[in-house]
């Protein structure tokens, strides 16, 4: 379809269409065969529109992943720290096993040779992930379940870092859900809850 024949989209509406198209295209053809031209065609926009926003596919896919990654508002507020932590890590595990995770691993592999891109990835994805956990801990601290001294980015990063190490050492699509859930429960019960719990 000629993008010029449809209604003109801008801003968030156009970005949403591009992110949806990018993830769908990557799921269909894989990251290695992903092209900006096919993403533009699928999103019914021009390739120039993509290049005005992103210098290449790695940056575009990073934004698409970040846009789809869960936030604390997407998670249930169970009223119990342990259950909130389990919900958050289960959502992260589901994302890592989905096409989002495939995209993220592919982008990381592509940008590893570029020090500036690695720094941007850390700032944007890692800090976003840690903010989710820190927001969750702040919510629990307001209920009196978390000690105030635990409300730091470093402490918030512990659970997700252990999840990342687990997934980097595994083939997530081959590991059954029961094994992944066992790992998540161990991370929460053996590490995160004892680390942050109010005395």
Q: Which residues contact 44 (CB under 8 A, 6 or more apart)?
A: 1, 3, 6, 17
* Structural class in CATH, domain 69-196: mainly alpha
- Bridge partners (DSSP) of residue 146 are 197
Q: Is 44 left (phi over 0), alpha (psi -120 to 50) or beta?
A: left
pLDDT for residue 4: 45
* Structural class in CATH, domain 3-56: mainly alpha
What residues does each domain of the chain span?
3-56, 69-196
DSSP 101-139: HHHHHHHHHHHTT-HHHHHHHIIIIIHHHHHHHHHHHHH
* Whole-angstrom distance, CA of residue 25 vs CA of residue 31: 9
pLDDT tens digits for range 162-173: 988 887 666 555
- Bridge partners (DSSP) of residue 197 are 146
> What is the percentage of the chain residues whose pLDDT exceeds 90?
48
pLDDT tens digits for range 30-49: 888 999 999 999 999 999 99
Task: Enumerate the H helices of 146-199 as residue ranges.
Answer: 153-156, 158-168, 177-186, 193-196
Has residue 158 got a pLDDT over 60?
A: yes
Q: At 43, which helix (H) or strand (E)?
A: helix 36-43
* Whole-angstrom distance, CA of residue 31 vs CA of residue 60: 12
Query: How many helices (H) and strands (E) in the chain?
Result: 12, 0
Q: Are 52 and 14 in contact (CB under 8 A)?
A: no
Lookup: tokens for 146 = 């978390």
- What residue has token string 């290049």? 51
Average pLDDT, the chain: 86
CA 180 to chain CA centroid, nearest Å: 17
* Whole-angstrom distance, CA of residue 187 vs CA of residue 166: 10
* Whole-angstrom distance, CA of residue 54 vs CA of residue 48: 10
> What is the percentage of the chain residues whose pLDDT exceeds 70?
86
């Amino acid at each position: 379809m000629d993008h010029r024949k449809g209604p003109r989209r801008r801003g968030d509406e156009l970005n949403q269409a591009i992110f949806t198209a990018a993830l769908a295209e990557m799921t269909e053809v894989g990251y290695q065969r992903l092209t900006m031209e096919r993403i533009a065609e699928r999103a019914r926009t021009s390739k120039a529109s993509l290049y005005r926003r992103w210098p290449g596919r790695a940056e575009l896919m990073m934004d698409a992943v970040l846009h789809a990654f869960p936030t604390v508002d997407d998670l249930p507020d169970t009223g119990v720290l342990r259950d909130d932590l389990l919900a958050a890590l289960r959502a992260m595990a589901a994302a890592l096993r989905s096409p989002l995770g495939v995209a993220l691993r592919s982008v990381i592999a592509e940008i590893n040779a570029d020090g500036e891109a690695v720094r941007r990835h850390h700032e944007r994805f890692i800090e976003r992930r840690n903010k989710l956990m820190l927001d969750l801990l702040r919510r629990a601290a307001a209920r009196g379940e978390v000690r105030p001294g635990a409300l730091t980015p470093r402490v918030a990063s512990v659970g997700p870092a252990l999840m990342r190490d687990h997934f980097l050492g595994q083939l997530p699509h081959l590991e059954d859900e029961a094994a992944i859930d066992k790992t998540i429960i161990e991370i929460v019960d053996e590490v995160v809850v004892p680390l942050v719990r109010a005395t």
